Structure 1
Amino acid sequence: MTERIQTLLRDLEAKHGIEILYACESGSRAWGFASPDSDYDIRFLYRRPMLDAFTISEGSDTIEIPIEDDLDPGGWDIRKALGLLQKSNGALIEWLHSPIVYHANPEFLTDLRNLAAEHLSRKGLANHYRGLAGQFYRNKLTADMPSAKGYLYCLRALLAARFVLEHGKPPPVPFAELIPTAPDDVAEAIDELVAWKADASENQSPGRQVKLDKFIEAKLPGIGAEMDALPGDPTSRAPFNEVLHRWSLWPKSTDTKPVYKSEFTLERVRRSDRLLFEAVSGSRSFGTHHERSDFDLRGIFVAPPSFLGGLESIDQVSDEKSDEVYYEIGRFVSLLLANNPNIIELLFTPKDCIRHRHAAFDLLKPEDFLSKLCRQTFGNYAMSQIRKARGLNKKIVNPQPEQRHPLRHFCHILRGQGSVRLDEWLATEGLDENQLGLVSAPHATNTYAVFHDKAMPTEMRGIFSHKDEGAIVCSSVEKEAEPIAWLTCNLDAFKAHCKAHREYWQWVELRNEERFETNTAHNRGYDSKNLMHTLRLLDQAIEIAKDHHITLPRPNSDWLKRIKSGEFSYDELLRIAEEKHAEMEAAFEASSLPDSPSRERATEILLEIRQQFLTA
C-alpha cells in the first residue's frame, strides 16, 4: 500500500505541475483506531511554480481527488496552509505531527512544526477540538444506535481540547496517548471500544455506552466556559510570510524585506518603481469639463513578489472620495476581462491626460480585451441609468425635515367617520398618555383599544415604549374594562418616512454641490450630468461594436455639455437614448468582436508585466 501511495503522489506532481513537500496519513489510521474497511486519508502540502501562483486563471489552492481503491488524497497549496497555520488550524497541525509520513522535506517540516509550536493559539486550537466534539455528539451520538466511530471521534476531540487547555500545546495524534488523560474507568471503557472497533465495520454500533455518555455530557459544556475565559492570541504574519517566501518558487527580486498591505499608501504606489500608469480621467479626458471640474486621477501599480507571495492581498488604493484610485495590475486586468467601462476607457486616455506611462503598459492592447460584453457593460447599463436620472427630482422638490417625525405623528384616534391626531385628542381630553393603556384589537392590524384607569393609573404602561421610540407598548387590562377610544397607527407610513428621511440626508451629505446647483438651476426634473454620461456610454458602445475603438476626447463633447446644462427635456433625451440603444443592438449583432476576452491571453499579459517589474 505504501508503494501505491508513493506512486499516486508522483502522479499528482506530474499531472498538476506541483512539488509535494510533505505527505502523511490523517484520520483514524493516524489516530490508531482504523476499521478493516477504513480509507487511507492521504493529506499533502505542495508548492506551485511562480507562473501558476501569479495568474488570474481559474486555479485553486486545493487539490481534491475522488476516492479510488480506498485511497482518499487531498492537498493544500503552501500559501493556503500557512494562512491556516497562522490561525492554529487543528487539522493542519495534526498533519504535521502524524505518525505515518509518506514523504517529507525535512527542513520544510521542521519550519512548519516550529511555527505551529512558537505561535500556537491556545484558544483557537482548543476551540477547534471543542467544535468537533460538539458536532460529533449532536450528529452521531444522539441516535438510538450510535456507531463506535462516532464515540471515538467525539471522545478524541474532547480529550484533545482538554489537553490543549491544560498543557498549552498540540495534543498527541495517536489516540492511545490521549486515553490515559481520562479517568481510569472511562479510559478502560475507551480501550475496550477501540479493541471492539478493530474488528467491526466502519459504522457498526456497539450499542449505547452509558459510562461514555455520562462522561461526554459532563465534560463537554465545561470546556466552552473555560475556553471562553482565555484571552485572544494575536499572531504576527511576519514569521509565516518568511517561511512562505523561503519555500516558494518565486524568483528573487530586489525587495529587501516583505511588504505589507498597510504600506500601500497613495504616496507609495505613485513611486516609479511600482507605478505602471497614471492619468487624469473623467470629464477632462472626455472633453466635457469646465474650469471648476475636478482632477480625477486613475492609476495602475504592480505589487512586488514579496507581497503577492505573502498572506495578504490588495485590489486598489484610493482616497476617501475615490477621486484618486490606483488599481493593482491583477485587479485591473480582471476588470478589463469583465469589460468594465471605467477601466476600458483608460486604454484610450488622451496623451495630454497621461502623467506616467511605463513601457510595459503597451502590453495592454484594446484588441485583447474588447468584446461583445461591452453590449451589456456600456449599453444596457446606460439604459438602466437613464431611467433613474429622474429620481433626483424627487429629492429636490420633496426635501425632508432635519428631524425625523416620531411615531406619534402617524397615530390617530378614530372618531365618527374620520379621525383626529393623537396629540390633538390628548390635549382636548386633558389626558396624560403615560396613564393610558393599549390593547391590540384582534383581526385589526395596528389598531388598539385605549383604556384609562383613574383608580390605578400606575398599572398602565402608556402608549409608546421608553426603550424604542419606534414601538408601541400594550398593557394588561381587565376583561370587563371598556375602552375610551380606538387608536390606529399607520406603521407602514412611519417606516416609509424613516427610509425617505435617511436616504435624503445621506444624499445631502454626499451630494456634489456644484452638480446639485446645476440641476436645480435648469429645473428640468432630472440629473443632467447622469444623462450626459449615459448617452456618452451609448455612443462609445456603438463605436466599440463598429470600430473596435473609443475616441477620447469625445467628438460630440459640445453636445454633451449642452445636455449637462439642461438644454433638453427628459422625454427628448429618453427618445434619443432609445434610438441610440437600438443602433447599438444592431451594431453588436453585426460585430466581429469575440463574445468575451481570452482569459489565457490576459494571463500571459499579466505575467509579462509582472516579470518586467521583478527587478524594479
Structure 2
Amino acid sequence: MKRIEVEKRTILIGLAGSHGYGLNRPESDYDYRGVFIAPKRYYLGFDQIEQKDSDWDEVGIFSFLDGNKDTVIYELRKIIQLLAGANPNVLELLWLNHYPVLTSVGQYLINHRKIFLTKKVKHTYSGYAFAQIKKMETHRKWLLNPPTKKPVPSDFGIEDEAPLSKEELNAFLEYLYNLVKGKIEYLEKAETLYKLLTADIDFKAILKQYTLPDETLEYTQKLTNSRKDFIRLLQKSQSYQIALREWKAYLSWQENRNPVRAEMERKSGFDLKHGMHCIRLLRSGLEILRTGELIVDRRIAGDVNELKAILRGDYSYEQVMKMATDLMTEIQKVDEESILPEKPDLEKVNELCIKLVEIQGWDD
C-alpha cells in the first residue's frame, strides 16, 4: 500500500524508542510505531499487508514521518496477534506518553489494552532480555578474542563431500520439528512438554540455531529414518553454517558499528546499549507481573538515571550480568504470585479486533 493510503486509515502513531523510554540524547533518532486498519479488499479479497516500514519519502499526510527510516505502522490484525503474544516491542506502543496521531478508534484500542497483559510476559520479556545478553556475550567475545579467518568445511571434519546448505538444513530441521511435535501431541503425560515446545519457547528456532548434541543423534536418526552418515554430516554442517553465520555477523559488526558506541564498547569491554536494554526489559516484565501495569517511560518508573549510568559505562560487565541474574530470579518468584491471567482471552481479543474494524468502517 502507498504511504498516503496507510496514513488515511491510521488510528494511532506513538513516539517510541529512546524518546519513549526517556533515555534519548540530542543525537537520538525518532522511532515511530503505529497502527492502521486496512481497507475492505485486504479483509475480503486476496490482497495482504502486515505493516508499512519503508518508502516514507512518498507523498504522505503526516509531515513528521517524511524520510524517517525508523517508522513502522502495523496493520490491525498483525499487531493484535503480536499483542496477544505479549511481544515487548509492541505492547509498549499502547502505553506511550506521546501520540502525534491518535483517533477515537486508536483511543478505543488503548482503553482496552489491559486484555493483553498476561503471564506470557514472563517468557517474552525474559526471552528478549536473554537475546540482549547473547548479543553482549557475542560482542564481548569478538572484542576479547576476535576471529582471525573465515571458517571452511574442513575445520569441522567435512573433507570429501559438500556440507549441507542452509536451505537443506532448515528443510530437514523443519521436518524433525514436526515429527517431534507429532510424537508428543496426543500423549496425555506429555501435555506439559507439548505446551513447552509449541507455546512457551520457540523450539523450532532453537533447532535451527544450535548444533544437535551428540546424545540426540541416534534418536534423530531413528525418528527420521535416516542414514547414520547423513546425521553426522548434518551435525557437522550445522556447526559449519553456525560458524559461517557468526563470521558474517562479525564482519558486518565491524563495518557498521557506530564509532561512538564502538569506543564505549572498547573501553567497557561489552555493548552498553544491549546491557541497558536487558535490564530495562527485565524490570518492565517484573513491573507488569507485579502491578498489572506497563511503564514505558523510565523516568516515571524511577530507574532512568541508573539505566543512563549503564549506558555511560559506570557499571562493569559483571555488575550488569549480576543485575540480570537477580532480576531473572525475581521474575520467577513474582510470576508465581501474580494475579494476571495465564494467557489472553482470545474471544475478547477477537471481539476487540472486530469492534475496531466496525468503528473505523470500510470507506477508503
Q: Does 1:304 align with 2:74?
A: no
Partner in structure 2 of residue 289 of structure 1:
24
- Identity, % of aligned pairs? 28
Partner in structure 1 of residue 254 of structure 2:
508
Pairing 1:121-270 to 2, within 5 Å after superposition: 264-270=1-7
The amino acid of 1:336's aligned partner reads: L
SS of equivalent to 1:354: coil
Pairing 1:514-525 to 2, within 5 Å after superposition: 514-520=260-266, 523-525=267-269
- Contact 1:360/1:609 (8 A) holds in 2: yes
In 2 relative to 1, CA 573–306 (structure 1 residues): closer, same or farther, beyond 3 Å? same
Partner in structure 2 of residue 606 of structure 1:
353
The amino acid of 2:106's aligned partner reads: F
- Contact 1:277/1:356 (8 A) holds in 2: yes
Structure 1 distance, partners of 2:271, 2:124, is 21
- Contact 1:383/1:581 (8 A) holds in 2: no
- Contact 1:391/1:526 (8 A) holds in 2: no
In 2 relative to 1, CA 322–586 (structure 1 residues): closer, same or farther, beyond 3 Å? farther
Partner in structure 1 of residue 279 of structure 2:
535
Per-residue CA deviation, residues 395-451 of structure 1 (Å, 9 max, x unaligned), is 3355567x969999x9xxxxxxxxxxxxxxxxxxxxxxxxxxxxxxxxx9959xxxx
In 2 relative to 1, CA 500–586 (structure 1 residues): closer, same or farther, beyond 3 Å? closer
- Contact 2:39/2:362 (8 A) holds in 1: no
Pairing 1:315-326 to 2, within 5 Å after superposition: 315-319=50-54, 323-326=70-73
The amino acid of 1:338's aligned partner reads: G
SS of equivalent to 2:35: strand
Per-residue CA deviation, residues 65-108 of structure 1 (Å, 9 max, x unaligned), is xxxxxxxxxxxxxxxxxxxxxxxxxxxxxxxxxxxxxxxxxxxx
SS of equivalent to 2:73: strand
Partner in structure 1 of residue 173 of structure 2:
none
Q: Does 1:377 align with 2:114?
A: no
SS of equivalent to 2:24: coil
Structure 2 distance, partners of 1:500, 1:314, is 32
State the shift of 1:382 in Å: 1.5
TM-score of the two chains, using structure 2 as the length reference: 0.66
State the shift of 1:532 in Å: 0.5
Paired residues, what number? 269
Partner in structure 2 of residue 327 of structure 1:
74
Per-residue CA deviation, residues 169-198 of structure 1 (Å, 9 max, x unaligned), is xxxxxxxxxxxxxxxxxxxxxxxxxxxxxx
Q: Does 1:553 align with 2:297?
A: yes
Quote the RMSD (CA, aligned, Å).
Answer: 3.1
The amino acid of 1:379's aligned partner reads: S
- Contact 2:51/2:73 (8 A) holds in 1: yes
The amino acid of 2:38's aligned partner reads: A
1:348 to 95, 104, 123: 95
Pairing 1:448-597 to 2, within 5 Å after superposition: 500-520=246-266, 523-554=267-298, 555-597=302-344
- Contact 2:37/2:75 (8 A) holds in 1: yes
In 2 relative to 1, CA 582–497 (structure 1 residues): closer, same or farther, beyond 3 Å? closer
SS of equivalent to 2:342: coil
Structure 1 distance, partners of 2:261, 2:287, is 28
In 2 relative to 1, CA 502–551 (structure 1 residues): closer, same or farther, beyond 3 Å? closer
Per-residue CA deviation, residues 32-70 of structure 1 (Å, 9 max, x unaligned), is xxxxxxxxxxxxxxxxxxxxxxxxxxxxxxxxxxxxxxx
The amino acid of 1:354's aligned partner reads: Y
In 2 relative to 1, CA 269–513 (structure 1 residues): closer, same or farther, beyond 3 Å? farther
State the shift of 1:394 in Å: 2.7
SS of equivalent to 1:536: helix
- Contact 2:41/2:47 (8 A) holds in 1: no
2:102 to 350, 357, 368: 357
More strand by share: 1
- Contact 2:42/2:49 (8 A) holds in 1: no
State the shift of 1:527 in Å: 1.3
- Contact 1:400/1:500 (8 A) holds in 2: no
Pairing 1:421-460 to 2, within 5 Å after superposition: none
The amino acid of 2:17's aligned partner reads: G
Structure 2 distance, partners of 1:539, 1:445, is 45
State the shift of 1:535 in Å: 0.5
Pairing 1:76-155 to 2, within 5 Å after superposition: none
State the shift of 1:585 in Å: 1.5
In 2 relative to 1, CA 559–363 (structure 1 residues): closer, same or farther, beyond 3 Å? same
Per-residue CA deviation, residues 1-41 of structure 1 (Å, 9 max, x unaligned), is xxxxxxxxxxxxxxxxxxxxxxxxxxxxxxxxxxxxxxxxx
Q: Any gaps of 5 or more consecutive residues in structure 2?
A: 56-67, 161-235
Greater Cα radius of gyration, structure 1 or 2: 1
- Contact 1:317/1:325 (8 A) holds in 2: yes
Structure 1 distance, partners of 2:127, 2:25, is 28
In 2 relative to 1, CA 388–306 (structure 1 residues): closer, same or farther, beyond 3 Å? closer
Q: Any gaps of 5 or more consecutive residues in structure 1?
A: 1-263, 411-443, 448-490
TM-score of the two chains, using structure 1 as the length reference: 0.40
- Contact 2:10/2:37 (8 A) holds in 1: yes
State the shift of 1:347 in Å: 1.0
Partner in structure 1 of residue 12 of structure 2:
277
Structure 1 distance, partners of 2:14, 2:80, is 17
Structure 1 distance, partners of 2:357, 2:241, is 52
State the shift of 1:337 in Å: 0.5
Structure 2 distance, partners of 1:310, 1:374, is 34
Per-residue CA deviation, residues 465-504 of structure 1 (Å, 9 max, x unaligned), is xxxxxxxxxxxxxxxxxxxxxxxxxx99998985554232
- Contact 1:374/1:541 (8 A) holds in 2: yes
- Contact 1:372/1:596 (8 A) holds in 2: yes
In 2 relative to 1, CA 445–363 (structure 1 residues): closer, same or farther, beyond 3 Å? closer
- Contact 1:363/1:605 (8 A) holds in 2: no
Structure 2 distance, partners of 1:348, 1:494, is 43
Structure 2 distance, partners of 1:581, 1:312, is 43
Greater relative contact order (Cα < 8 A, sep 6+)? 2
